[in-house]
Amino acid sequence: MEAIIKGVEKDFLTENSDIDFSTGDTVAVSFKIQEGAKSRIQIFEGVIIQRSGTGTGSTFTVRKGSGNNVFVERIFPLHSPLIDDIKVIRRGKVRRAKIFYMRGRTGKSARLKERK
């Protein structure tokens, strides 16, 4: 049964699964936005606070700070056809799989050390 499911999922996997990124990394996600008949690419840049799921259902959450201590979190499906590109800008050094503690931090305490 699992072999059948993996065979069907294989058709829907995108090349985004080849990108190596994890929790704590700062990424720039190029996301296609459809507005009427026009489409454009918008870049959402922030820190990954979690990754979850496997196969076609895998997702990652990006947290972006946009001035005046206002933060926006967005959940992206990893294998979405709307994701054009994922670029890793910085590699963060964290010791947890999900860094929800970043939600309570602003300013200097919200910085992460860089992985070497």
pLDDT in tens, 54-94: 888 899 999 998 878 889 999 999 999 999 999 999 999 99
Q: What's the pTM?
A: 0.87
Rounded Cα distance between 5 and 95, Å, is 33
pLDDT in tens, 20-34: 899 999 999 999 999
Please, what are the domains in the chain?
A: 2-104 (2.30.30.790)
pLDDT band with cut points at 50, 70 and 90 for residue 107: confident
pLDDT of residue 87: 95
User: Number of C-alpha atoms within 13 angstroms, CB side, residue 3?
Assistant: 0
Whether the CB-CB separation of 51 and 58 falls below 8 Å is answered with yes
Nearest to 98 by CA among 68, 53, 57, 66: 53
Distance of CA 38 to the CA centre of its chain: 25
